[in-house]
Structure 1
Amino acid sequence: MTTTTRLHYLDAVRAYALLLGIVYHTSLSFLPIFIGWAVMDISTSDWVSVFVFISHAFRLEVFFLIAGFFSCMTLQKVGIKGFLTSRFTRIVLPFLLGWILLRPLLVSGWIMGAESMQGEANIIAALVTSFSDFKGLSMSLFVGTHLWFLYYLTLATFLTLLLYLLHTKLSQFTPKLAGRMHFILVHTLTRKGLYLLVIPLTTCCLWYMQHWGVDTPDKSLTPQWPVLCLYSGFFLFGWVLFNHQNTLADFMKLSAFKLGVWLCSCIAAVMLSRYQMQYMHEYYLQIKVAFVISYAVMMWTSCMLFIGLFKKIANKPNAFTQKLADTSYGLYLVHLPLVVWLQVAVAELTMPLTFKLFIICTSTVAISLFLIESVKFLKNIFMNNFKSEPKKGMRHQ
């Protein structure tokens, strides 16, 4: 594949996977069971639980897979130095700046959520408390942010780059061994080999999670190894797919068989998840084994169908999709404080659940877009003024 080709359907996949994350976070206040989220709405639904359960199984996995694909493309296009520069600008810098800017707003949202469930929220007091919380950085460095995925994306990128450099050196000094490894890789990435490889590896990662499903490692900078292995595996898989187009085509091919397997695995995983807290059940371990297998199958088939769907419906240039793809990353970075504040605002209102969901999602996207465009506008003004200033020692004509 040439590095200049723009894959419109993958732009759409990345954009809508991140937008799905906004809907996912919006839905958390409507769960029928309190999970420690900022606030619990008076309107709840069991169907929201099903949506949250299934979407959590693949939305970030798709993002990491696509990130690996485009990272390999970027490396081949700009080289190691340009690749490291772009990764620092797109991943590390947003993580550092986003944490500083967004953390107080998120903490204040949690404070107001707790207050609203007990009576009435005090916005000013919540903000003051959240900013004073910076004093306890050493105790709660990673708590209260949703940008942990950038931290794990950085680690996954670093690990994959190490493997790439190792393979490059191996090809130079021991070409026969490198050729055998490439032969094994190509044959592993056939349809049968692919499923026989990724499903067991994913199952192993899921088995060692702290909870059933995929853990959210947002409490510490110390990596949770099952989570890191899982997301790094999807990143590496996307990286490899860039150079194996036949495997990519088979991976995202839509079929009735894939749809049937996905549906059965979803039903099985949802039903089995009910036994998570029943530690004394006679067949608890057997049920967990069945759960992690069905969850792994649901995860991979969801990724296949999600990418395949956009390959079918968004494979041509589209101005709206391209604009959405260009802004979706920024939308996801800034969305969570807005979501939490809006959830708190509507939590006690007697409105239909779907209307609340719609209001929160659309308002979040609209406000986020306004903030992003405002920052771009101010940046352009600053850059234009900077360029227009004459350099010292130069004469005006």
Structure 2
Amino acid sequence: MAPAEHTGAAPERLHALDAVRGGALLLGIVLHTTLSFIPAPTRIWIIQDSHPSMTLGVLFFTIHVFRMTTFFLIAGFFGHMSFHRRGGGAFIKDRLQRIALPLVVGWPIVFAAMVAVVFWAASYPNGGPVPGVPRWPPVLPAFPLTHLWFLYVLLELYAAALVLRLGVAWLDKSGRIRAGVDRLMGLVMRSWLAPAILAVPIGIALNLDPTWVGWFGVRTPDQSLITNLQAVIGFGTAFGFGWLLHRQVDLIRIWERRWLLNLVLAVVLIAASFALAIVPRPRPDVIRFAGATCYALAIWTTTFAVIGVALRFLSGFSASRRYLADASYWLYLIHLPIVMALQVALSSLDWPWPAKFAAILLVAVPVMLGSYQLMVRHTFIGTVLNGRRMPRPEKPAGAAASPAAT
């Protein structure tokens, strides 16, 4: 069976999905900015600020619930779109350029900058290397992928999708299997229990992990070249669902129609998950089970809600949203050492936490946007990251002869 074609308003609606993808990356900057402020019995970050905030702890928890699942779902959706627009060979070349190359070239630069900041943080109270993090050089498969782990996992998922697709195409020459999968996708998407159905795999994975900590949700594979089982199941399910969903694009309208219900349920489930996560240890098994189950439901309900809200309110074209979506990839790649340095610099100041948190973002984001505009958007770097080079705006006729130009 051939992939379903875009219909009706689908092209316009893709603006909303592009905004969600960019928003997920930008929320990562906010999330990492909260880390130095999270109150914890032991230090969880390179610096612990002198003015911790439970409010920022709640913000961290909320963003962490849905951000990467949403990102990988959108990545799978756009991955399938790109594959069928480009063809297999061109798709592989494009992914190597836009995903593998930034990882290989960018990781050493970003990691060196982060190490320098960590050494600087060690001279501050409550600063320095986080206990338990492997030291350099690593013993493989341990490896500090840092926040760029998502690129590594994306490459794994693209490879898996291509291999599975080849296998299905060889076995399913009549198209019956693909038609059956499409019908199943339709049934799941139309069901009011869709978030619960998709939550089953990651819910089982969380419940089977006796060391699972509700604060940090799905274990991120940032310290190893072997992706952990929780990440494979949680993010792999999201990517695969997005890949298959693109075969029937109009199904995303269901999220738009149910945005309010999913948003209300998401708020309730996140609140319940947070309450269960902060229960002091040792926790009874029933509390751990309830926390993991609630968290898994929160992941998917919030993912549906976020995409539904975007489809409802952000489907039209916006030049500013498009600009931020294009810039978000570069900003996320470079942000962490910049944010870390600002966290260290402000950590000992006797400012209230809202002032420090705002100061970090108000300094970091404009600097990074400036670097994107000057160094990336109209250069070969922008071509590598975004797949096309943005034309520079032309000067008005006669501008060279104006007094200001002399």
TMscore range, shorter length: 0.7 to 0.9
Q: Which amino acid aligns with 2:257?
A: K
Q: For this pair of structures, how many residues does the alignment match?
A: 365
- Residue among 91, 97, 109 paired with 1:89: 97
Superposed displacement of residue 179, structure 1 = 4.1
Superposed displacement of residue 345, structure 1 = 0.7
Q: Paired residue for 1:274?
A: 278
Counterpart-to-counterpart distance in 2, 1:380 and 1:195: 41
Structural RMSD (CA) = 2.7
Task: Decide whether the 8 Å contact of 1:191 with 1:247 is kept in 2.
Answer: no
For structure 1, the residue ranges without an aligned partner over 5 or more in a row are 127-132, 384-397
Q: Does 1:227 align with 2:228?
A: no
- Residue among 250, 253, 256 paired with 2:254: 250
Q: Does 1:16 align with 2:43?
A: no
Superposed displacement of residue 225, structure 1 = 1.5
Counterpart-to-counterpart distance in 2, 1:371 and 1:335: 11
Q: Paired residue for 2:242?
A: 238
User: Taking structure 1 as reference, are residues 14 and 256 closer, same or farther at Cα in structure 2, changes over 3 Å only?
Assistant: closer
- Residue among 5, 17, 30 paired with 2:11: 5
User: Taking structure 1 as reference, are residues 305 and 118 closer, same or farther at Cα in structure 2, changes over 3 Å only?
Assistant: closer
Task: Decide whether the 8 Å contact of 1:58 with 1:300 is kept in 2.
Answer: yes
More deviation, 137-146/248-257: 137-146
Q: How does 1:206-217 map to 2 (within 5 A)?
A: 206-209=206-209, 210-212=211-213, 213-217=217-221
Task: Decide whether the 8 Å contact of 2:195 with 2:300 is kept in 1.
Answer: no
Q: Paired residue for 2:73?
A: 65
Q: Which amino acid aligns with 2:273?
A: A
Counterpart-to-counterpart distance in 2, 1:177 and 1:158: 21
User: Taking structure 1 as reference, are residues 240 and 380 closer, same or farther at Cα in structure 2, changes over 3 Å only?
Assistant: closer
For structure 2, the residue ranges without an aligned partner over 5 or more in a row are 130-134, 384-406
Superposed displacement of residue 352, structure 1 = 2.3
Q: Which amino acid aligns with 1:273?
A: A
Superposed displacement of residue 113, structure 1 = 1.9
Q: Does 1:149 align with 2:150?
A: yes
Counterpart-to-counterpart distance in 1, 2:317 and 2:179: 38
Superposed displacement of residue 110, structure 1 = 1.9
Q: What percent of counterpart residues are identical?
A: 30
Superposed displacement of residue 79, structure 1 = 0.5
Task: Decide whether the 8 Å contact of 1:143 with 1:218 is kept in 2.
Answer: yes
Counterpart-to-counterpart distance in 1, 2:281 and 2:34: 23
Q: Paired residue for 1:285?
A: 285
Counterpart-to-counterpart distance in 2, 1:253 and 1:216: 32
Q: Paired residue for 2:38?
A: 31
More deviation, 22-31/243-252: 243-252
Q: Does 1:55 align with 2:63?
A: yes
Task: Decide whether the 8 Å contact of 1:106 with 1:145 is kept in 2.
Answer: no
Counterpart-to-counterpart distance in 1, 2:45 and 2:234: 24
Counterpart-to-counterpart distance in 1, 2:159 and 2:274: 34
- Residue among 65, 90, 106 paired with 1:98: 106
* CA distances 1:259-291 after superposition (whole Å, capped 9, x unpaired): 33222211211111123631xx4xx22111111
Task: Decide whether the 8 Å contact of 1:27 with 1:52 is kept in 2.
Answer: yes
Superposed displacement of residue 139, structure 1 = 6.3
Counterpart-to-counterpart distance in 1, 2:97 and 2:219: 27
Q: How does 1:1-397 map to 2 (within 5 A)?
A: 1-2=5-6, 5=11, 7-33=14-40, 34-117=42-125, 136=137, 138=139, 142-143=143-144, 145-172=146-173, 175-192=175-192, 194-209=194-209, 210-212=211-213, 213-275=217-279, 277-278=281-282, 281=283, 284-376=284-376, 379=379
SS in 2 for 1:315: coil
Q: Paired residue for 1:395?
A: none
SS in 2 for 1:105: helix
User: Taking structure 1 as reference, are residues 140 and 374 closer, same or farther at Cα in structure 2, changes over 3 Å only?
Assistant: farther
SS in 2 for 1:15: helix
TM-score (norm 1): 0.84
Task: Decide whether the 8 Å contact of 1:266 with 1:298 is kept in 2.
Answer: yes
User: Taking structure 1 as reference, are residues 186 and 312 closer, same or farther at Cα in structure 2, changes over 3 Å only?
Assistant: closer
Q: Which amino acid aligns with 2:171?
A: L
Q: Which amino acid aligns with 2:359?
A: I
Superposed displacement of residue 178, structure 1 = 4.7
Superposed displacement of residue 152, structure 1 = 1.1
Q: Which amino acid aligns with 2:252?
A: L
